[in-house]
Structures are given as C-alpha cells and as structure tokens.
Amino acid sequence: MSRPETNAPLLEIADFSVTLHTPTVSVRPVDRVSYSVGAGEVLAIVGESGSGKTILNMAPLDLLPAGVDSDLEGAVRFQGRDLLRMTTGQLESVRGGEIGVVFQDPLSALNPVRKVGRQLTEGIERHLGLTPAQAQARAAELLTLVGLPDPQSRMQQYPHELSGGMRQRVGVAMGIAGEPKLLIADEPTTALDVTVQAQIVALLKDLQKRMSMAIVIITHDFGVVSGLADKVAVMYAGRLSELGGVREVLLDPAHPYTRGLLASVPSLSAPLDTPFEGLPGQPPNLARRIDGCAFAPRCSLARPDCSRDRPPLLSVPRSALGHLAACPVTVNQTV
C-alpha cells in the first residue's frame, strides 16, 4: 500500500521571490520561481553569473551573505513544511541534517580557527547521534570517499593549510556528512581538476543511488549536468526561463536563452580555430523593474510585445511532460 506522502515532492518551491536591500539599492535576484524535486531526483540549475542561482538556494536556508537585509515571498516546502516559516532553531536542525549544503566558496563554510576534523565530527555527532570515536572514524571515511589522501593528518590541519581543491573536497564531505535526504551543492567541482571532478560526480551519483539522496546542483558545466541530473532548470535574471528533463532541455532547447547558452559551450569536436560563440549583450540590472521578458533586449527572435508582458512558463509541444519554457515565440512556433 502506498502512503500518500510518497507522492508529494521532497522539495517544492512555489512562487518564490527574494528581494535584497543594501544601504544604497534594492535588488530582486529571485523573481517568482517555482519547481519541485522528488525524493532521489537530481535537478541541475544553470545560468550566467549573477542570475540568482546561489541566492535562490541559500535564502530559504537562512544562508544569505551577512549584512544584507532580505524579503522572502512565496513558499519553499521541504517534506511538506515551509522552510520560510520555520524558527531559527528548526532551520538549524534541518540544515546539515536532512538538508546538506555544499557552499560555492568552501572557505565560507569552514571556521578558520578550528581543525578540519573537529568541524566534520561535530556535525556527524549532532545529526547522526554517533559517539566521538565513531564520528572520528566516519569523518576519515568521508574524507577518503571524496578523494582526500591521508585523511588522519588532514583532520589535524586548519582550513588555511589546505589547498583550494582540498578545501572544496572537505566542503563536499561536510555536505554529505549528515546523510541528507536533500543535498544542495553550489558548484561543488569548479575549483577541481577534471579527474577529481569526475570522482566527485561519481561519488554524488553513488550516494544518490544508495541513499536515494535528492540533489540540487548548481553548475556551469554541461558535462556535470548530463552526467548527473534528471532535470535542468535554466535561470536568467532571477527567473526560470526553461525547465525540463535533461534530454529534452539539452537536445531540444526551447528558449532562445537556453539555445544561446548551449551554443556558447565550446564543442570538443569543433576545429580549434572555430570562433567562440558567446551570448551578445549583458544581463539586465536587477535593481530595475523588468516588465516583459528579461531576455528580450538580447534576443534575436524578440517581438515588440516581448518587452510588455512577462511570458509565463508554457508546456513545450511535442516534448515530454514537464518540459516548460517561458517564450511564447518559440513555443508557439513548434506547434
């Protein structure tokens, strides 16, 4: 007999917006975003620098940059409970426990004046209820899993004594230490060389299968997307421009922005002198209100009405269920 909650998504983001207030300006880096992630499912979030990927994922966990005031609207439900309505104490027990986090900047996750081992074992003791000796053994095991050689001596070191790549691997170990149901991984492989990148991706895939861990991974690397993800969300100027299964979005992109983003990925098979096709123009200023499609000023297919009304996410015809794009021009063309 199936239980009703097994049908509910693990994570459900509904009409979620974030406004950040600095002393001089207010910006809206997340603007009415909705999607869901099922248990054991992997969602990749892609988009240019500054499109709001980090803020979208960190704001609900109360992990925004220090000294920035914020307004959060909408709902972010994890196992049916809205993270935006939790007390600080409730959020603290979810973070590092059922939701693991790998930070884009591993230094921000690590306390500079405490040894690496202690930082790892603390979380393990707290969230898995292990004794200090068991936690110590588990921490060494985790560091081995993420490919850090000689874990016993690494655990005696301070974060600044490790290289950037080593710190990033410690960051991944900390993210998975509590055996989370959901791992939020913000560019977990960017500072690593390709071999280690492949190891980390394989590790995440293995954990996802063995523990049925869901993953939201922010990445600029389409190799990571196709190797790991089930679904992709494409962000542009704080909004979702396209969402769907990996195959549909990568092989049959519907939004002009996704097409541009994919065209800007250098192809291994292209001759070496092929010019690099970047996206022309700049992303918009998020401090200004954007009425129509945020991509319209850079879009070769834009029509005058694109700058008037914000396009809704529409089902892409003749594609798989759940493939959505916020572009009436291309979506209607394919009918």
Decide if residue 119 touches Mg ion (CB under 5 A): no
**From the list 11, 20, 143, 204, which residue makes contact with ligand ATP (rule: CB under 6 A)?**
20
Q: How far is the CB of 32 from ligand ATP (least distance, A)?
A: 15
Q: How far is the CB of 45 from ligand ATP (least distance, A)?
A: 8
Task: Kindly report the number of other CB atoms within 10 A of residue 51's CB atom.
Answer: 24
* Only segment of 47-55, 195-203, 224-232, 256-264 that touches ligand ATP (CB under 6 A): 47-55
Residue 65 binding result from ligand ATP, Mg ion, none, given CB thresholds of 5 to 8 Å by partner type: ligand ATP
Q: How far is the CB of 46 from ligand ATP (least distance, A)?
A: 9
Using the minimum distance from each CB to ligand ATP, give the nearer residue, 63 or 207.
Answer: 63
Using the minimum distance from each CB to ligand ATP, give the nearer residue, 207 or 218.
Answer: 218
**From the list 12, 20, 31, 54, which residue makes contact with Mg ion (rule: CB under 5 A)?**
54
- β-pairing, 324-325 vs 314-315, is antiparallel
- Which phi and psi (to 5°) does residue 195 adopt? -65, -45
Q: How far is the CB of 73 from ligand ATP (least distance, A)?
A: 16
Q: What does the DSSP assignment read for 57-68?
A: HHGGGT-PPTT-
Q: 195 Cβ partners below 8 Å, 6+ apart?
A: none
Give the Å distances, CA to CA, from 228 to 134, 186, 209, 293, 335: 31, 14, 11, 30, 31
Residue 260 binding result from Mg ion, ligand ATP, none, given CB thresholds of 5 to 8 Å by partner type: none
Decide if residue 60 touches ligand ATP (CB under 6 A): no
**CA–CA separation, 201 and 188 (whole Å):** 9
Tokens in use for 91?
Answer: 């959020």
CA 277 distance to own-chain centroid: 25
Decide if residue 68 touches ligand ATP (CB under 6 A): yes
DSSP 313: P
- Which phi and psi (to 5°) does residue 50 adopt? 85, 5
Using the minimum distance from each CB to ligand ATP, give the nearer residue, 122 or 221.
Answer: 221
Q: How far is the CB of 46 from Mg ion (least distance, A)?
A: 11
Contact track, ligand ATP, 134-163, x by CB under 6 A: ------------------------------
CA-wise closest residue to 115 among 159, 60, 51: 159
Decide if residue 51 touches Mg ion (CB under 5 A): no
Residue 68 binding result from Mg ion, ligand ATP, none, given CB thresholds of 5 to 8 Å by partner type: ligand ATP
Decide if 109 contacts 170 (C-beta within 8 A).
Answer: no
Decide if residue 290 touches ligand ATP (CB under 6 A): no
**CA–CA separation, 69 and 31 (whole Å):** 17
Decide if residue 270 touches ligand ATP (CB under 6 A): no
What element of type H or E holds 143?
Answer: helix 132-145
Decide if residue 53 touches ligand ATP (CB under 6 A): yes
DSSP 11: E
Binding site residues, ligand ATP, CB under 6 A: 20, 22, 27, 29, 47, 49-55, 65, 68, 104, 286
Binding site residues, Mg ion, CB under 5 A: 54, 104
